Structure 1
């Protein structure tokens, strides 16, 4: 009993000791310096819409809109117009033109001037697109679908593409999941399937200047028990800036969504083509198709 009491006393004294060893440490954090952020993805089908904000401290979840700015747009280095602000975004009155170079300049009282360049690529040369509802059976016995896209690549330049597809069913929308065991060499070469991308991006590195048939394995997008569904397919010809930005964005989103259970993910530095700032100014063009269920 005496030994037992001694152990209790020792534990009690250690608890007091460690409690009294707490010490407040003041950390001298550097003064936060905000930066200007410009985001604009543009195509021939809509006017320029520029979202202008500034970076915020890590505990601030909402972007701070920059309202007092002069946003000027140039086409092939010729001044076109000054964009107007509607309380949320800066908007042009003109539509981008195919294969034209665009330059945007932003002047604000608070920040150093920022600028960015990109162009509007031509429409992709889509030959055909089809969806096979029962292309194969996976290891667990489920029937899997396959989207087949045939297109022709321009041999005169380096090209980049993006594919988006989703199903509209009973006035609701949902995007497919991609089979990580997809064996198309072009998609495997991009190494993004494991990061749950909302869209698929790829370059013409493996098929430059030729016609190519891309096969995307996914879950069966049409449920025979429901009313007829339709698959909305979007095929984009994108610029290199667009391609680099969206690929980094996929990794960034994946890390943010998975670090709760998997531990803190590696920091992902976002790609930007904005001089003296952050964000993206990049062009694309697209073709859309609708595929109905059988």
Structure 2
């Protein structure tokens, strides 16, 4: 089994292929790894790295070496194509991001990302679903805790269609970016068209910086990014989540292949129909 190192926004993510075990990987060919997204009213953002063999030495120097900073990156909505610009962004490591400056996402439209590097062209297409409004958002202490708890969200699922969701939060003065919740991805298999209440656990900042702290604390000002995503995006995030949770650490594998919507590459190009909310834990 060959495993690939995918650096998604400072997370080390291993993707496995379905072949026989081979611990001496010869003639390894790196692949383009994409962590990109676009949401309504905002410009596309794309992080790029190269994959690496499972047994590669990983430290801050090698992480920078895997960062892909000389690619041509473009996004098209079928009518307009924009070439993205590489800019520094200290919220991520390696701290480089390709960003747009003219083409903004619109609900209901599809966007094709093209990454060209060293004669290879990686392509992915995503859509931006209609955002879902929540009915209420609140903080509640966990049983037996005097200052620790979860946030709860209540919303009504839209009936007669398949819906996929992903949630992220950001704590004011603590987090430099939105962080996926502990169980951030779900669909409406069990609540199609119903009003539902879901508790959200605090997530880890990276896949390698895991803690048992799933609580928010009294006094936290928490911003919630509540997103609708398409099926291809859900399939990626859900299989990635299972890989991380089932193994207990990102350097093991469940022998399941993390799905991708990227042709000639790895990773995810995700469209978000986003709604933003804020709650103070008290």
TM-score of Structure 1 vs Structure 2, range by shorter chain: 0.5 to 0.7
Alignment-derived partner of residue 54 in structure 1: 50
Q: Using the TM superposition, give the Cα deviation of residue 73 of structure 1 relative to its aligned residue in structure 2, in angstroms.
A: 1.8
Between structures 1 and 2, the one with greater strand share: 2
Alignment-derived partner of residue 224 in structure 2: 233
Alignment-derived partner of residue 95 in structure 1: 104
Deviations 1:206-261 (A, max 9, x none): 222333333558977444xxxx443333322222222222222223334665489x
Alignment-derived partner of residue 249 in structure 1: 240
Alignment-derived partner of residue 280 in structure 1: 268
Please give the alpha-carbon distance, in whole angstroms, between the structure 1 residues aligned to 2:265 and 2:215. Answer: 43
| Aligned pairs (5 A) from 1:81-160 | 81-86=82-87, 88-93=96-101, 94-111=103-120, 113-133=121-141, 137=143, 141-142=144-145, 145=149, 147-160=151-164
How many pairs were matched up? 231
Unpaired runs of at least 5, structure 1: 1-26, 174-195
Alignment-derived partner of residue 74 in structure 2: 72
Please give the alpha-carbon distance, in whole angstroms, between the structure 1 residues aligned to 2:221 and 2:87. Answer: 35
Change over 3 Å in CA distance of 1:57–1:153 after alignment to 2: same
TM-score (norm 2): 0.68
Q: Using the TM superposition, give the Cα deviation of residue 35 of structure 1 relative to its aligned residue in structure 2, in angstroms.
A: 1.5
Deviations 1:169-227 (A, max 9, x none): xx446xxxxxxxxxxxxxxxxxxxxxx9634221112222333333558977444xxxx
Change over 3 Å in CA distance of 1:215–1:257 after alignment to 2: closer
- Asked if the contact 1:133–1:220 (Cα under 8 Å) also holds between the matched residues in 2, the reply is no
Please give the alpha-carbon distance, in whole angstroms, between the structure 1 residues aligned to 2:150 and 2:86. Answer: 44
Alignment-derived partner of residue 33 in structure 1: 29
Unpaired runs of at least 5, structure 2: 1-22, 89-95, 203-213
List structure 1 segments (4+ residues) > 6 angstroms apart after TM superposition: 217-220
Q: Which moved more, 1:55-64 or 1:91-100?
A: 55-64
Change over 3 Å in CA distance of 1:60–1:146 after alignment to 2: closer
